[in-house]
C-alpha cells in the first residue's frame, strides 16, 4: 500500500512539474506531499521498532486517512485542464433523453427519501471502516489484501479524475443555469473551474439530520472534480465484493442497504450524472478482480523469493 501511494505521489509530482506555471497552490501541494512522507516514515519506523498487529493497523490506517487528503488534491491538477462536463451532460441527454440528476429529486421530493439518500451518501467512509475493522478482527490473515485492494481502487480513480476533468451536476448546472440545462443547452465552460468552485445545494429536506451531515462533509472536502466515474459507487462496489468474499452474510446484510442507497444518492443529491454511477459500478467490479489478481500475483512472487 505504501508503494502504491508512493507511485501515485511520484506520478503527481511529475504532472506538477509539467503544469508548474499554471498551478495556483503549488506550495500547498508540496506541503501535503511532505506531510505524507513524514507520517509514512514515522509509522514505518514505529513498526520496525515494534512489529505487532496494533502497529500494523495504525500503519495502514495512516494510508487510509490520507485518502481524504489526496481527493481535493486532484482538483488542483485537473482544474488547469479544459473542463469536459459539456461532453458528459450531452451524453447523459442522449442516453436518457433528460438529465436524471434534475428529474430524480423533482419527481421524488419527499423528506423521508431525502434523508435516506443523504444517509446513504455519508455512509461512504463508515462502510469502508466497518470492512476494515471486520478483516482486522475476524480475518487478519487477509487484512492486508483487503486494505490493499481498497487503496488500489482509490488511487486508480484518482488518476482518472486528474486526467478527466469532470465536475458533475452540482457544479456544472450552477455555472450554466438549470433553465438552460433543462432545455438541453450544454455549453463548453473551458477553464471556468480554474477560478470557480461554487456548488448547488443538494435537493431535499434541508432541515433533516442527514442532510445537515451531508452539508458538513461537502463543506469539508468537496471540490469541482472527480465526477466520472463515480468513486463513491466504484469503491463501495469493491467494498461489497470484499464483504461477500468473507461469506459473512450478516455483514453483507448490514452493508447492502447502505450500498444501494449510496448508488442512488449520487444522482439524487446532484453529485454525479447517471452515467457516472453506472460507470462506477462497472469499473468497481473490474477493479476488484484486477486488483485481486495483482495481489495474488505479487503475494505468490514474494513467497517464491523468500522461499
Mean pLDDT of the chain: 93
- The backbone region for 159, taken as left when phi is positive above 0, alpha when psi lies in -120 to 50, beta otherwise, is alpha
Q: What is the pLDDT of residue 219?
A: 83
Give me 295's grid cell: 495481489
| Nearest of 32, 30, 3, 35 to residue 17 by alpha carbon | 30
Give alpha helix (H) positions in the chain: 2-19, 26-49, 53-65, 67-78, 85-96, 100-107, 111-122, 124-138, 143-163, 169-176, 178-182, 209-221, 231-245, 249-268, 274-306
Provide the angle, in degrees to the nearest 10, between the axes of the packed helices 143-163 and 231-245: 160
Residue tagged 494510508 (cell numbers): 63
Its pTM stands at 0.93
Pairwise CA distance, residues 237 & 183, whole Å: 34
- Counting residues of the chain whose pLDDT is more than 90, the rounded percentage is 86
Mean pLDDT of 285-290: 97
Please state the length of the chain.
Answer: 307
Q: What is the pLDDT of residue 295?
A: 86
Pairwise CA distance, residues 140 & 79, whole Å: 40
**DSSP code of residue 109:** -
pLDDT digits (tens, 9 = 90+) for 161-187: 999 999 999 999 999 999 999 999 999
pLDDT digits (tens, 9 = 90+) for 214-253: 999 888 778 999 999 999 999 999 999 999 999 999 999 9
pLDDT band at 301 (very low <50, low <70, confident <90, very high): low
3-class SS of residue 164: coil
Pairwise CA distance, residues 52 & 46, whole Å: 10
Tally of CB atoms within 10 A around 14? 10
Question: Would the pLDDT of 87 be above 60?
Answer: yes
pLDDT digits (tens, 9 = 90+) for 1-57: 888 899 999 999 999 999 999 999 999 999 999 999 999 999 999 999 999 999 999
The CA-atom distances, in angstroms, between 76 and each of 16, 153, 226, 283, 286 are 9, 20, 12, 24, 28
Rg of the chain's alpha carbons, rounded to an integer? Answer: 20
Q: What is the pLDDT of residue 306?
A: 44
pLDDT band at 302 (very low <50, low <70, confident <90, very high): low
Q: DSSP for 284-299?
A: HHHHHHHHHHHHHHHH
Q: What is the pLDDT of residue 300?
A: 63
Pairwise CA distance, residues 73 & 60, whole Å: 20
pLDDT digits (tens, 9 = 90+) for 185-195: 999 999 999 99
Pairwise CA distance, residues 124 & 235, whole Å: 9
Pairwise CA distance, residues 113 & 43, whole Å: 43
| Nearest of 283, 1, 31 to residue 146 by alpha carbon | 1
pLDDT digits (tens, 9 = 90+) for 89-141: 999 999 999 999 999 988 998 999 999 999 999 999 999 999 999 999 999 99
| Nearest of 113, 120, 153 to residue 241 by alpha carbon | 153
Amino acid at each position: 500500500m505504501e508503494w502504491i501511494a508512493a507511485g501515485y505521489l511520484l506520478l503527481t509530482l511529475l504532472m506538477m512539474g509539467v503544469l508548474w506555471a499554471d498551478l495556483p497552490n503549488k506550495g500547498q501541494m508540496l506541503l501535503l506531499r511532505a506531510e505524507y512522507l513524514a507520517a509514512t516514515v514515522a509509522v514505518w519506523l514505529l513498526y520496525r521498532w515494534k512489529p505487532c498487529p496494533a502497529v500494523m493497523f495504525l500503519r495502514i490506517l495512516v494510508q487510509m486517512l490520507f485518502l481524504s487528503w489526496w481527493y481535493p488534491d486532484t482538483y488542483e491538477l485537473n482544474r488547469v485542464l479544459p473542463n469536459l462536463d459539456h461532453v458528459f451532460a450531452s451524453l447523459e441527454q442522449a442516453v436518457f433523453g433528460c438529465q436524471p440528476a434534475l428529474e430524480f429529486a423533482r419527481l421524488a421530493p419527499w423528506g423521508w427519501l431525502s434523508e435516506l439518500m443523504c444517509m446513504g451518501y455519508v455512509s461512504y467512509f463508515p462502510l469502508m471502516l466497518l470492512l476494515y475493522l471486520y478483516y482486522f478482527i475476524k480475518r487478519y490473515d487477509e487484512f492486508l489484501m483487503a486494505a490493499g485492494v481498497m487503496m488500489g481502487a482509490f488511487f486508480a480513480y484518482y488518476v482518472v479524475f486528474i486526467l478527466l476533468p469532470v465536475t458533475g451536476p452540482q457544479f456544472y448546472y450552477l455555472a450554466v443555469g438549470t433553465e438552460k440545462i433543462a432545455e438541453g443547452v450544454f455549453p463548453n465552460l473551458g477553464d471556468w473551474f480554474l477560478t470557480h468552485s461554487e456548488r448547488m445545494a443538494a435537493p431535499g429536506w434541508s432541515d433533516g439530520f442527514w442532510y445537515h451531515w451531508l452539508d458538513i462533509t461537502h463543506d469539508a472536502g468537496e471540490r469541482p472534480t472527480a465526477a466520472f466515474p463515480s468513486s463513491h459507487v466504484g469503491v463501495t462496489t469493491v467494498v461489497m465484493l470484499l464483504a461477500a468474499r468473507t461469506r459473512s452474510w450478516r455483514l453483507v446484510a448490514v452493508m447492502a442497504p447502505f450500498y444501494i442507497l449510496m448508488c442512488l444518492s449520487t444522482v439524487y443529491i446532484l453529485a454525479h450524472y447517471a452515467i457516472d454511477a453506472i460507470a462506477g459500478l462497472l469499473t468497481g467490479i473490474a477493479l476488484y478482480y484486477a486488483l485481486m489478481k495483482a495481489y495474488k500475483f505479487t503475494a505468490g512472487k514474494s513467497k517464491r523469493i523468500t522461499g
